[in-house]
Amino acid sequence: MLIKRKEFLQIGSLAATSLLVPKFLKAFEEPARVPAGNKVLVVLQLSGGNDGLNTIIPYRNDIYFKSRPGIGIARDKALSLTDEAGMHPSLTSFKALFDEGGLGIINGVGYPNPDRSHFRSMDIWHTASPAEEYWNNGWLGRYLDAQCSGCDLPTQIIEMDDVLSLAMKGAEHNGIALKDPRRLYGTANEKFFREVMQEHGDQFHEEPVEYLYKTMAHTLSSADYIFKQSRHHPTKATYPATGLGNRFKNIASLIFSDINTKVYYVSLGSFDTHIYQQMQQQRLFTELNDTIKAFTDDLKNEGRFEDVLLMTFSEFGRRVSQNASGGTDHGTANNMMLIGGGLKQKGMINAMPDLTDLQDGDLKYQVDFKQVYATILKKLAGS
């Protein structure tokens, strides 16, 4: 039986949506495992350019309120962190983590010659390239290349989405994209794909078709492994019934299992608040806050909070001054938050942005984000 064009495209679609370019995947009779106690990184991307000044609020700075007469958050509304800074009122679980030593805040994170385009700036953050250079592999993909040279560890990096980010693509190896282990398993086990494998395993000789066949075979193996591992120790905690809540619930179940994953990647957005910023940011922060509370409580109950580091970032911050539409436009430097039970540095790690020293109305960066990446990867690789 010849493979039909429609069936060929179906195979390609499965490969593209679930694994993308999984050149090194093999069957997992003896999968490597990450035992409890090893470090796990969770990267949370706040897509769209979150407004850092209304996240970590300089509520004793007159310039802040003069620049934002309509959207500035008053001191009596903000959650107090220090004498100089507060937090958005929707982030109550982050405030609790700050008080107990489970949260670190890095202010003024950015890079030289900042770009205000969503796509270009996100590429720079994903690849960790200089602003004037264009790279085609990501910072986590390169980590995977280094860690998986000559090994079969395709599930070391998982993105909880249908599409793989540039950050997860290496020169040799790529991470895996999936929203739900059960859904990937169900798709991979559809009758059509199993029949193709059984009937055509030795008949694909043309390079494109052979590649797609191998990709499909690897997808089936990976789907089986991830789904079965996720059932070993599923979380019993209740998570918000939201997209972000479901993804973090799946991450928790995988962390508690014996799967070999060391990096999870998840996104929330859009934080592109040109208009109606207060409502948009509050809605997204409420979803974020409730999810992170469920996740960190779950990790603590399972004795894994010290083993997990959660890092937030956004492709840029917003301008210091509000615009005429009750929002803010694309800016530059921003804050990053680090959450975990094993933080060496916690609380307010560096000084708040200097609102008296701006560049074209934007914040000047204090910390290059590539330094943060390097520190995190050094700790991860050494765990």
Average pLDDT over residues 170-176: 87
Kindly state the average pLDDT of the residues 367-380: 94
What pLDDT is attached to residue 356? Answer: 97
Q: What is the pLDDT of residue 36?
A: 55
Least confident of 155-164, 176-185, 286-295, 336-345: 176-185
Split at pLDDT 50, 70, 90, the class of 271 is very high
> Residue 183 pLDDT > 90, yes or no?
no
Q: In the predicted model, what is the mean pLDDT of residues 317-336?
A: 98
Q: Residue 308 pLDDT > 60, yes or no?
A: yes
The share of the chain scoring above pLDDT 70, in percent, equals 77
Ordered domains of the chain (ranges, CATH) = 33-179+237-381 (3.40.720.10)
Chain segment 197-234, per-residue pLDDT in tens: 555 555 544 444 454 445 455 556 666 777 777 777 89
Whether 338 shows a pLDDT value over 70: the answer reads yes
- Which has the higher per-residue pLDDT, 221 or 264? 264
- Mean residue pLDDT across the chain: 84
Whether residue 263 contacts residue 174, with contact meaning beta carbons closer than 8 Å, is answered with no
Per cent of the chain over pLDDT 90 is: 66
pLDDT over 50 at 153, yes or no: yes
pLDDT tens track for 57-72:
999 999 999 999 999 9
The confidence score (pLDDT) of residue 258 equals 74
pLDDT interval class at 49 (50, 70, 90): very high
pLDDT at 9: 40
Model pTM score: 0.85
